[in-house]
Amino acid sequence: MTSAITPLETGLPANLDAERYILGSILADDSHFVQVGGRLLPEDFSLEAHRRIFRSMLDLQGRAEKIDRVTVANELMRHAQLESCGGVAYLVSLDDGMPLILNLDGYIRIVRDKATLRRLIAVSQHLMSRCLSGAEDPSQILAATEDTLLKLGDAQEQRTAIMTPAQILDNYEGGLNAFLDPSKRLRGVSTGFAKLDEMTGGFRPGELIVLAARPSMGKTAFALNIAHHVGVKLRQPVVVFSLEMSKESLLTRMVCASARVDSHRFNAGYLNRDERERLQMGLLELTEAPIYFDDTAGINLMDMHSKLRRIQSEQPVGMVIVDYLQLMSQPGRTENRNQEISAISRGMKLLAKEVHAPIIALSQLSRAPETRQGDHRPVLSDLRESGSIEQDADLVGFIFREEVYKRDREDLRGLAELLIAKQRNGPIGKVDLVFLHSLTKFENRAEDLGDVG
């Protein structure tokens, strides 16, 4: 038997029967290729012969030609590969022992799982080799490994089965009735802001939401308001990574906003009995809520991922907040800052899909809004240091308070806007809000109040 059909190195994960039955079923009836084609790659097969046979099938399909033993044998012959694959006899033998009732989905899953395990073993061996060589800084090795693992996970998710509408509804929790129920229109995690929830349907698992603003607009306050709603009201775990403020400062802001106590009075120590009681109640509420703070300076995606995985081992994460994107590090990178931020934003999107939770990433804006005459509202091109932030994000929102630019206008005091400049799954537009200076807190406008889920 030739080398292309020689079994793999002993011990590597593989299931040759599953591979043979997949290929044999297509040779017997090429309508099965539709079920297999988008879900497997030639590299997913463990034997080189199986990879060449499947690649020949892909080539035939690409030319809209029929796939059977004769056409595949001819395609292999064109590339001088037929004999190395065991000849026509091996093609004929592929369906030997194949069950009468095929479990093709099961075979595909087995082959993909074994391929993933082999790739993980290869990554591990390469990682060990780099570690033992002593030629690189550990941070460089960590960064490269992080990228490899995130891309591997993303590749797994991208090759999911093609589904009919009926199959999608079967997988939808509650089925058709739940899909059509107006009371269940909020598909994602509620933010606590009625108009924003109405425009977005909530922030969905796997989404990257970028909230950007110029300094002093209140982007941290807005994110903490959402975190409080998710953790306290919805009782869903929310993780806040702050690269700028300490854990104690975050807790102070959150409890003062929820207890409606002036943060300046709190910091100065001027509190009356009523304020102290409200703060105690607010702190008690927070200690019972699944809210997690991390203030590691310059945290990178790898560290963030490992911390989220530890929390996920106990309970699903409902939301992740990062304050802010430009302060994150990308160890071992030597490219320019734009490329570094691009890698971070892309990694953040992959991380959102990996942990199956929405990630809110706060971001800086360039000084361009300040230079504009009249209207200082931000636009997408103002996103600082990388155009890929806009590309990677599912939603981009700008927090804007005109009073920051026109401090003499009393009629603007306390008025705020969230400008939805991009939304992959919904409309763009404006959400009007109220900003309470003394509490560093955003609230719904009175006319927007209703049931906030």
pLDDT reported for residue 396:
92
DSSP state of 231: I
Domain boundary among 49, 83, 110: 110
Domain boundary among 110, 144, 168: 110
Domain boundary among 110, 138, 173: 110
Q: Are residues 200 and 97 in the same domain?
A: no
Domain-located, residue 175:
no
pLDDT reported for residue 386:
60
Q: Domain limits at 421? A: 185-448
Angle between helices 104-133 and 16-28 (to 10 degrees): 130
Domain-located, residue 304:
yes
Q: Are residues 443 and 338 in the same domain?
A: yes
Cβ partners under 8 Å of residue 120, min gap 6: 152
Q: Are residues 85 and 222 in the same domain?
A: no
pLDDT reported for residue 237:
93
Query: What is the C-alpha to C-alpha distance for residues 399 and 213, in angstroms, rounded to an integer?
Result: 5
**385 flagged as catalytic:** no
Q: Are residues 73 and 189 in the same domain?
A: no
Altogether, the residues listed in the chain come to a count of 453
* Token pair in block for residue 309: 């995985």
Q: Are 212 and 364 in contact (CB under 8 A)?
A: yes
pLDDT reported for residue 450:
54
Domain-located, residue 62:
yes
Query: What is the C-alpha to C-alpha distance for residues 437 and 426, in angstroms, rounded to an integer?
Result: 31
pLDDT reported for residue 100:
78
In angstroms, how far is CA 146 from the centroid of its own chain?
A: 14
Domain-located, residue 153:
no
DSSP state of 383: B
pLDDT tens across the length of the chain (453 residues)? 445 555 555 678 999 999 999 999 999 888 888 778 778 889 999 999 999 999 999 888 878 788 999 999 999 999 999 999 999 999 999 988 888 778 888 999 999 999 989 988 888 888 888 899 888 888 778 777 776 776 676 566 555 555 667 666 666 656 666 666 655 555 789 999 989 998 998 999 989 999 998 888 889 999 999 999 999 999 999 999 998 888 888 888 888 888 888 877 887 778 888 888 888 888 888 888 999 998 888 787 777 887 887 888 788 899 999 988 888 876 654 467 777 777 788 888 888 888 889 999 998 888 888 788 878 888 888 886 666 888 888 999 999 988 888 888 888 888 889 999 999 888 899 999 998 888 888 989 876 555 445
Domain-located, residue 432:
yes
DSSP state of 160: P
Residues 261/190/381/336 CA torsion (nearest 10 deg)? 90
pLDDT reported for residue 265:
81
Angle between helices 104-133 and 138-158 (to 10 degrees): 170
Domain-located, residue 190:
yes
Q: Are 222 and 399 in contact (CB under 8 A)?
A: yes
pLDDT reported for residue 91:
93
* Token pair in block for residue 178: 């739940």
The distance between the two most distant Cα atoms of the chain, rounded to a whole number of Å, is 90
CATH number at residue 36: 1.10.860.10
Catalytic residue among 83, 244, 248, 370: 244
Q: Are residues 106 and 250 in the same domain?
A: no
Block residue for tokens 């104690």: 248
Q: Are residues 106 and 189 in the same domain?
A: no
Domain-located, residue 86:
yes
Number of domains composing the chain: 2
Q: Are residues 302 and 397 in the same domain?
A: yes
Query: What is the C-alpha to C-alpha distance for residues 306 and 241, in angstroms, rounded to an integer?
Result: 13
In angstroms, how far is CA 114 from the centroid of its own chain?
A: 24
Q: Are residues 312 and 205 in the same domain?
A: yes
Q: Are 307 and 322 in contact (CB under 8 A)?
A: no
The half-sphere exposure of 139 on its side-chain side, counting CA atoms within 13 A, is: 10
- Pairing relationship of beta strands 441-444 and 429-436 according to DSSP bridges: antiparallel
Domain-located, residue 149:
no
Q: Are residues 99 and 227 in the same domain?
A: no
pLDDT reported for residue 182:
55
What is the number of other CB atoms lying within 10 angstroms of the CB of residue 75? 22
Q: Are residues 212 and 343 in the same domain?
A: yes
Q: Are residues 195 and 102 in the same domain?
A: no
pLDDT reported for residue 71:
94
Cβ partners under 8 Å of residue 38, min gap 6: 159, 162
DSSP, collapsed to helix, strand or coil, labels residue 72 as helix
In angstroms, how far is CA 321 from the centroid of its own chain?
A: 12
Q: Are residues 194 and 333 in the same domain?
A: yes
CATH number at residue 372: 3.40.50.300
pLDDT reported for residue 332:
54
